[in-house]
């Protein structure tokens, strides 16, 4: 039997809050006002949707806090599902959740190239290039993503303390950049709240628009649930995780709403409203095609782009670190329970980090930069499904244990969390024409492939475990 190894307790409450917020806020927070939020729900509709989504996530966070205090060890959703429902359910939960976490690592790494394209005059578009599904891929951008993945894999192996401190610094850079642009919008006399009219996107019913934004909440807020993955490394009581999770969700929602509102308030010259600007967005190029960044430029000139660039860089790099940590701890926990080979559960002799699991994440992530963000986007679209499944299983586990213990509060949040997770899955998987929030065709195909791979992998693993457990003559 493999000896149970222990991770080191080096993470402070501030480190853990930074881990969660850094995972919640990524490149998407800066581009979604233009490509998702305003074109579906408008400024008022997005604010309502994010407020509702934050409340839903807080309810689910209560279930996570309950389970963290019962099992303050690495593994999060896998551990909770394993303890409540056994190995098969735990594998299903972690198989989808693992994809959700793992896909975001290369997504953030390849987003570095988008900073070069959008804010640095295509500085990394050098060397040979080719096209994959309509996306041009350059050698310089590949090398940039590979360098980032290698650097943060190295830092993640070196120790959780150094990555925790680095993560905290990046998140402060993220929050600081957003705060500066927000203050600039408040004090600018040409920016007024009347610019937020109409409150909803014309031609889309308010309910449909709000639901379309709420449907992406599992993806938008995936990150607070990385906290239990690092539970074994807390240097504080697990009871504090409730406040840390709630604060990370509220800060995340605030960043989404602030960026969206500022984008709508700062209307480019020649447009009568933000809605007219959104209607014309598919025909635009350059900085005008990135409404949030164009707003920063209008407010502060080149300095606005610098501040937003710093915020985006902090968001991207903190996301790489955070999901390296979350994915590797999930794999480590699965190995400890022999659902994965013991190799994944090996800790570094000196730094006591799951080095093999981190290297596995690195190797998988290194493939993505060669295929571009269009193909990667199909896989990332499934991240919401993985997150929703993780939320659902955690809420069900909390419900089961709370029923046994007679804990009425968690019984209530457990039922709500399960229902919310089911609604997310329905919105994402069932094509409902009026809501426009289900997965695309390519994402459905990727999902079916992932399910098939999971079945094959589980059956092979089960066969090996059965053979290993069989007594020898």
Q: Which two tokens stand for residue 410?
A: 């968690």
Residue 409 in this model has a pLDDT that exceeds 90: yes
Residue 45 in this model has a pLDDT that exceeds 70: yes
Is residue 95 within 8 A of residue 246, CB to CB? The reply is: no
Residue 257 in this model has a pLDDT that exceeds 90: yes
Kindly report the average pLDDT of the chain as a whole number: 87
Confidence of residue 167 (pLDDT cuts 50, 70, 90): confident
The predicted pLDDT at position 200 comes to 95
Q: Is 220 helix (H, G, I), strand (E, B) or coil?
A: helix
Taking residue 126's Cβ as centre, other Cβ atoms within 10 Å add up to 13
Is residue 228 within 8 A of residue 64, CB to CB? The reply is: yes
Confidence of residue 465 (pLDDT cuts 50, 70, 90): low
Higher pLDDT, residue 456 or 196: 196
Q: Average the pLDDT over each of 9-13, 432-436, 450-454 and give the range with the smallest value.
A: 432-436
Confidence of residue 101 (pLDDT cuts 50, 70, 90): confident
Residue 3 in this model has a pLDDT that exceeds 60: no
Q: Average the pLDDT over each of 34-48, 372-386, 396-410, 427-441 and give the range with the smallest value.
A: 427-441
Confidence of residue 470 (pLDDT cuts 50, 70, 90): low
The predicted pLDDT at position 166 comes to 82
The predicted pLDDT at position 265 comes to 94
Is residue 425 within 8 A of residue 389, CB to CB? The reply is: yes
The arithmetic mean of pLDDT across residues 58-63, rounded, is 95
Residue 383 in this model has a pLDDT that exceeds 80: no
- 100-104, 137-141, 190-194, range with greatest mean pLDDT: 137-141
The arithmetic mean of pLDDT across residues 450-469, rounded, is 76
Taking residue 437's Cβ as centre, other Cβ atoms within 10 Å add up to 21
What kind and span of H or E run contains 268?
A: none
The separation between CA 34 and the C-alpha centre of its own chain, rounded to angstroms, equals 19
C-alpha–C-alpha distance, residues 206 and 451, integer Å: 35
The predicted pLDDT at position 2 comes to 43
The predicted pLDDT at position 436 comes to 60
C-alpha–C-alpha distance, residues 214 and 373, integer Å: 24
C-alpha–C-alpha distance, residues 336 and 365, integer Å: 23
Is residue 337 within 8 A of residue 300, CB to CB? The reply is: no
The arithmetic mean of pLDDT across residues 89-105, rounded, is 88
Q: In Å, what is the CA distance from 60 to each residue of 55, 89, 152, 221, 399?
A: 9, 19, 30, 11, 11
Backbone angles phi, psi at 138, to 5 degrees: -110, 150
What residues does each domain of the chain span? 13-462
- The residues facing 234 across adjacent strands are 11
Higher pLDDT, residue 468 or 7: 7
pTM greater than 0.85? yes
Question: Which residue reads 């990385």 in tokens?
Answer: 226
CATH number among 1.20.1250.20, 1.20.1740.10, 1.10.220.150, 2.40.400.10, domain 13-462: 1.20.1740.10
Q: Average the pLDDT over each of 113-122, 142-151, 256-265, 401-410 and give the range with the smallest value.
A: 113-122
Q: Average the pLDDT over each of 150-164, 340-354, 366-380, 386-400 and give the range with the smallest value.
A: 366-380
The predicted pLDDT at position 434 comes to 62
Query: Percent of the chain scored above 70 by pLDDT?
Result: 96
The predicted pLDDT at position 165 comes to 84
Ordered DSSP codes for 48-81: HHHHHHHHHHHHHHHHHHHHHHH--STTTHHHHH
Residue 181 in this model has a pLDDT that exceeds 70: yes
Residue 363 in this model has a pLDDT that exceeds 80: yes
The predicted pLDDT at position 442 comes to 80
- 290-294, 365-369, 412-416, range with greatest mean pLDDT: 412-416
DSSP state of 136: E
The predicted pLDDT at position 85 comes to 94
The predicted pLDDT at position 472 comes to 55
C-alpha–C-alpha distance, residues 215 and 46, integer Å: 12
Residue 253 in this model has a pLDDT that exceeds 90: yes
Which sign, positive or negative, has the C-alpha torsion 457, 459, 460, 463? positive
Q: Is 137 helix (H, G, I), strand (E, B) or coil?
A: strand
């Amino acid at each position: 039997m493999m000896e149970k190894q222990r991770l080191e307790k080096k993470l402070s409450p501030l480190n853990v809050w930074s881990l969660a917020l850094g995972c919640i806020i990524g490149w998407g927070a800066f581009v979604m006002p233009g490509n998702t939020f305003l074109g579906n729900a408008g400024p008022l509709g997005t604010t309502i949707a994010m407020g509702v989504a934050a409340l839903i996530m807080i309810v689910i966070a209560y279930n996570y806090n309950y389970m963290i205090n019962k099992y303050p060890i690495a593994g999060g959703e896998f551990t909770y599902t394993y303890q409540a429902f056994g190995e098969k359910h735990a594998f299903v939960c972690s198989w989808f959740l693992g994809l959700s976490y793992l896909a975001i690592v290369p997504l953030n790494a390849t987003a570095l190239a988008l900073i070069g394209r959008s804010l640095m005059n295509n500085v990394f578009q050098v060397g040979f290039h080719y096209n994959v599904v309509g996306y041009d891929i350059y050698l310089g951008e590949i090398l940039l993503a590979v360098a980032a993945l290698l650097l943060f894999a190295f830092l993640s192996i070196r120790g959780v303390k150094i990555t925790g401190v680095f993560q905290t610094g990046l998140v402060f850079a993220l929050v600081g950049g957003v705060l500066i642009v927000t203050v600039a919008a408040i004090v600018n006399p040409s920016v007024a709240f009347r610019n937020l009219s109409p409150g909803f996107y014309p031609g889309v019913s308010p309910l449909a628009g709000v639901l379309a934004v709420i449907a992406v909440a599992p993806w938008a807020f995936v990150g607070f649930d990385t906290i239990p993955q690092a539970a074994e490394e807390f240097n504080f009581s697990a009871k504090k995780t409730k406040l840390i999770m709630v604060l990370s969700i509220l800060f995340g929602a605030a960043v989404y709403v602030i960026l969206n509102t500022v984008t709508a308030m700062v209307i480019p010259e020649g447009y009568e409203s933000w809605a007219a600007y959104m209607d014309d967005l598919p025909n635009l190029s350059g900085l005008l095609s990135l409404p949030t960044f164009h707003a920063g430029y209008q407010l502060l000139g080149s300095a606005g782009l610098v501040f937003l660039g710093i915020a985006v860089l902090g968001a991207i790099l903190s996301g790489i670190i955070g999901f390296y940590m979350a994915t590797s701890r999930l794999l480590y926990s699965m190995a400890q329970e022999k659902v994965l080979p013991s190799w994944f559960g090996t800790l570094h002799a000196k730094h006591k980090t799951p080095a093999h699991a981190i290297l596995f994440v690195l190797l998988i992530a290194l493939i993505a930069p060669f295929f571009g963000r269009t193909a990667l986007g199909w896989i990332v679209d499934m991240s919401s499904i993985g997150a929703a499944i993780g939320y659902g299983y955690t809420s069900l586990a909390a419900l089961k244990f709370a029923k046994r213990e007679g804990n009425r509060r968690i019984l209530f949040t457990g039922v709500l969390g399960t229902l919310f997770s089911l609604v997310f899955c329905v919105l994402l998987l069932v094509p409902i024409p009026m809501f426009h929030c289900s997965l695309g065709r390519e994402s459905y195909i990727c999902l079916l492939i992932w399910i098939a791979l999971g079945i094959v992998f589980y059956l092979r693993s089960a066969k090996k475990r059965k053979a290993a457990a069989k007594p020898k003559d």
